[in-house]
Structure 1
Amino acid sequence: MTGAPGVEAVFRAEYGRAVSVLVRFLGDIDLAEEAVQDAFAVAVRTWPEAGVPPSPAGWIITTARNRAVDRQRRESSRPARHAEAALLHAPDAPPEEGPVRDERLRLIFTCCHPALAPAARVALTLRLVGGLGTARIARAFLVPEPTLAQRLVRAKAKIRDAGIPYRVPRDADLPERLGGVLAVVYLVFNEGYTGDPALCAEALRLGRLLAALMPDEPEVTGLLALMLLIDARRPARRDADGALVPLPEQDRARWDRELIAEGQDLVRRCLRRGRPGPYQIQAAVNAVHSDAATADATDWRQILRLYDQLMAVAPSPVVALNRAVAVAEVEGPAEALELVDSLTPGTPGTRGAPGTPAPPSTPGTRGALDRYHVLHAVRADLLRRLGRTAEAAREYEAAIELAGSEAERAYLRRRLGQLGPEGT
């Protein structure tokens, strides 16, 4: 989408909504995606000269619908062409009645159908609603890109072959699909946090909609609190040159205190309910970080207790890795390194520094953690603290190779360079 003024911004902001509208209109995921992509391709060709239209989202949706109907008419048999042509001129369908009115949120709930495997629900909705490419979703899931591509193909085929309807879920269906919906929203937020603020804003918008839709679900409240507390640190996450600044080194005066106050208030609401879940506990961890006036004042013992609770509620290799970071602060790097080495079979070998948002526990195997660059970065830091600089250098190099963004790679190169000649 680069090279066309305004098109890339519209793509980031409106792709998910456009696909959501077209899926409801056409009843076909592949056709909806192709139509929206065709519409953006037309925009790339025409907007630089004609200018961005007054309603770019409406232009994209109308163009996509027209091109989808044209394609259907070309590819259909003669008896069906009249019906498809009539579809083009049919008035817009009235809004569906039901608890979910937002188009993108409705598509998320629709794709999180219990007939699909949990991982497939999350991957499919990330593709449709977030507009994320296969490579980015594969990184989030810690799986090879071909594996993720096949997962998407199978999910679309199951929806088509099983005749899963594209409709607003009933109130009774919402709790059953909530876990997948929350995972999608958090993954969209994570992808935005590592490079695309528009995705963060969209995840927060969806989180607020969910909180209004399901105010009695503590995990919804917990997810919103978690995202707010992490997003509050955004202003301090990069320095004046755009380089990443890890949590312990951030200027806490630059944190957004309004977002912190809102997030902490939501955490207190969760605590009063007494129904702890993974997102609530992660939000509590970030609330502890936000309470500390300096990095040295962080209550790591409380954070370790929270990770112990999280391991009891929702154990995963990523949670265990984050717990090891807390262990390093409470018990020392040697004890933490032993825990990290136990997480992967064979050669020890995940994404972000302590305090960076981690993906939900979607990855299913310990071996997948080897592809999660933060594992290598955490292990490198522990080895550095133990004076084992040559080994630390090798781990930093592995983390650099696996990191998903140039900003992360640049940060890891700086850390590698700080080891000095002993690490080369």
Structure 2
Amino acid sequence: MSDKFAFAQELDAQDELKHFRSRFFIPQHEGKEVIYLCGNSLGLQPKTASEAIQKELNKWADYGVEGHFVGEQPWWQFRKPIKPLLAEILGAKPTEVAIMNSLTTNLHLLLVSFYNPQGKRKKVLMEAGAFPSDQYALETHLHFRGVSPDENIIEVAPQKNEHILQTEQILETIEKLADELALVIFGGVNYYTGQVFEMQKITQKAHQVGAVVGFDLAHAVGNVKLDLHAWQVDFATWCSYKYLNSGPGGVSGIFIHEKHHNKDLPRFGGWWGQVESERFLMKKGFKPIPDADGWQLSNEPILPMALHQASLQVFHEATMDKLVAKSNLLTHYLYEWLIEFAGEHIEIITPKNPPHRAAQLSIFAKSKGKELHQYLLKNGIITDWREPNVVRMAPVPLYNTFTEVFLTAQKVAEFYK
């Protein structure tokens, strides 16, 4: 085991991204840094976060309302230098991205525009076991539209005794629903199993049958390599407080493919979506900005967006290609060491290899699952517990190390001795 520990240390020494760890605050446990494997629930705080907020607080103190119009980043256009940073992570054009609201709010707003039930084409396809907020949003949205969710929300579930949805199963279901299908809405990564769905293939098949495609990217953004524009995804939304490290309840965002920007889509309008040349004329008649910003409602939440910008700058420096490469290695070694040290006591329900797996392993404990989670916590290893018996671990490439994943696997084995 000491040879494996030395190997983990050597991997850390060779890691070209290792210096980014010092850019984050690491929580403490008994005077030592914890092993934080919970970035899939809440990412750690960048050390530039306080400075970013203080800068805007100082502007508020010094200028009051004039802060909207002064400085290198006036508040009324605060989003503009942030959008390209976010677009890099999404594989999108800056014009296809808007920064606004919270995830479920955005999902409802996007459904107004992209769920268009007509005739027998009313059905919505989603994965069984999607994050509850998505389930609630779809259920209540269809009720609001006078469409029965029981009859028209179709959930595709793994085969008996399996945890993972096979891509062919998803594609076959889309083809079977054909001209009854209005919308396909999936998570980019299933929050519970950690499975990465093949978004490009799902999008292509849905478009072949005439359906619209959207994704909840809460567990995918900042975690997997995305190429939303090239994949022709119609719309997406996400939160920024998980892998994007933008603070608890951080500002959300939307992606709307440019092919939809000039369509006369139904939408809920608001002041901040009005074309900028007429926004301050204060007259009737909604004329949306002719890109994703036209879906904005209210003026920008400056402090959460300042946090968001501070973290996205780190991603820009590290690059998604390098982060994904390290993530694949980190998660690979966590998987291998967990199986080697404690395989008889656990089952990893996450797919073993990319592209179906990213920076998360969901560990089904064959016994004492909650006790394992609590044992790790008492030993300075922060993971995430999900009923009925799953411990989720997310080794994040910006701040986790190979030594940490080795020590985590070792502690799991120690618990079961």
TM-score range with shorter-chain normalisation? under 0.3
Greater relative CO, 1 or 2 (CA 8 Å, sep 6+): 2
Give TM-score, length-normalised by structure 2.
0.22
Select the structure that is richer in helix.
1
Select the structure that is richer in strand.
2
Give TM-score, length-normalised by structure 1.
0.22
